[in-house]
Amino acid sequence: MSVPAEDEVLIRREGRAGHITLNRPRALNALTYDMVLGIWTALNSWARSSDVDLVILDGSGERALCAGGDVRSLYDSRIQGSGFARKFWADEYRLNALISRYPKPFVAIQDGIVMGGGIGLSSHARHRVVTERSTLAMPETAIGLIPDVGGTWLLAHAPGALGAYLGLTGTTMNGADAIHARFADAFVASQKLPELKQRLCDPSGGPVEAVIAEMKQAAGPSPIAAHTAEIDGIFSENSVAAILQKLAAAGTDWAQKTAAVMQPRSPKAMALTFAAIENARVMPALEHALDVEYRLVTRLFEDGEFPEGVRAQIV
């Protein structure tokens, strides 16, 4: 039984906070078009409200904040052309841009799975909290797409060549990795999230920055950071082909596993991803990257690369 559309996202006031909870736990809180519109409306209303001092974003259940956009609905819409896909992405990207420049503190709780569209909702926020359950990724090249929702902008601003590595391979990050890659800011144990939210909502809770600073803990070592030398030495090449050649020449276990991950991914999507990340490095703002992403994802939808990727991997 499907969840009624009006319950797919819970939007309410709690104390001084506007609280948004993605509420499709059986679908790992995947983002639908109606959810995009509901969040957009709430954020614009709260931006003008003197009763709302900050915004909290989280997800229902313990498995995910948001596992991505509702790619099945996009796939199913293909028989009517690209109209729905264009509308979905345009409004989703508009929401991502709003979150990035929101005038009030925006706290995204990146607990559980956070991928694709979930990254767009959370990693552009002013305050990004991960836990020991967090798994973040931009796996779009596996389904014939590029990291979108501002993903190329985020990847372009990861340290060294890490962005190219994450974008091409779709490698999953834990909480420490996400902080290292600049997709997140602070680690808070999942058992402390109720207290964190309560303090954030409390009108006498103090500044948002201070509340998070008091509750955050050391995230521990980043497994991905341990491979910095290999990542920078290989993924700083000037093309996907050159990266694959260097991985083959390296001959290490890590290089072989990385090449094996890339091998089945869409060559077209990987080439466009690599170029988009490189271009985003010199762009002045997120919105410029979103414009490029919009053109690329619609192209990949209309030429069949994305629908075929979804059919092969999901349908």
Q: pLDDT of 253-283, one tens digit each? A: 999 999 999 999 999 999 999 999 999 999 9
Q: Does residue 230 carry a catalytic annotation?
A: no
CA distance 302 to 61: 35
199-232 burial: b if 16+ Cβ within 10 Å, else e: bbbeeebeebeebbeebbeebeebebeebbebbe
CA distance 125 to 56: 10
Q: What percentage of residues in the chain have a pLDDT greater than 70?
A: 98
Q: pLDDT of 216-235, one tens digit each? A: 999 999 999 999 999 999 99
pLDDT greater than 80 at residue 44: yes
Q: Does residue 69 carry a catalytic annotation?
A: yes
pLDDT of residue 70: 85
pLDDT greater than 60 at residue 5: no
Given the residues 15, 68, 117, 120, the one annotated as active site? 117
Q: Does residue 117 carry a catalytic annotation?
A: yes
Q: For residue 109, what are its two tokens?
A: 């709780």
Q: pLDDT of 190-202, one tens digit each? A: 999 999 999 999 9
Q: Does residue 34 carry a catalytic annotation?
A: no
Q: pLDDT of 79-121, one tens digit each? A: 899 999 999 999 999 999 999 999 999 999 999 999 999 999 9
- What single-letter amino acid sits at 177? D
> What's the whole-model pTM score?
0.95
Given the residues 15, 68, 69, 163, the one annotated as active site? 69
Residue 177 DSSP SS3 = helix
Beta strands in the chain, from DSSP E residues, in sequence order: 9-14, 17-22, 54-59, 64-66, 106-110, 113-115, 127-130, 135-137, 186-187
Given the residues 8, 148, 293, 305, the one annotated as active site? 148
pLDDT greater than 60 at residue 1: no
Given the residues 53, 70, 92, 140, the one annotated as active site? 140
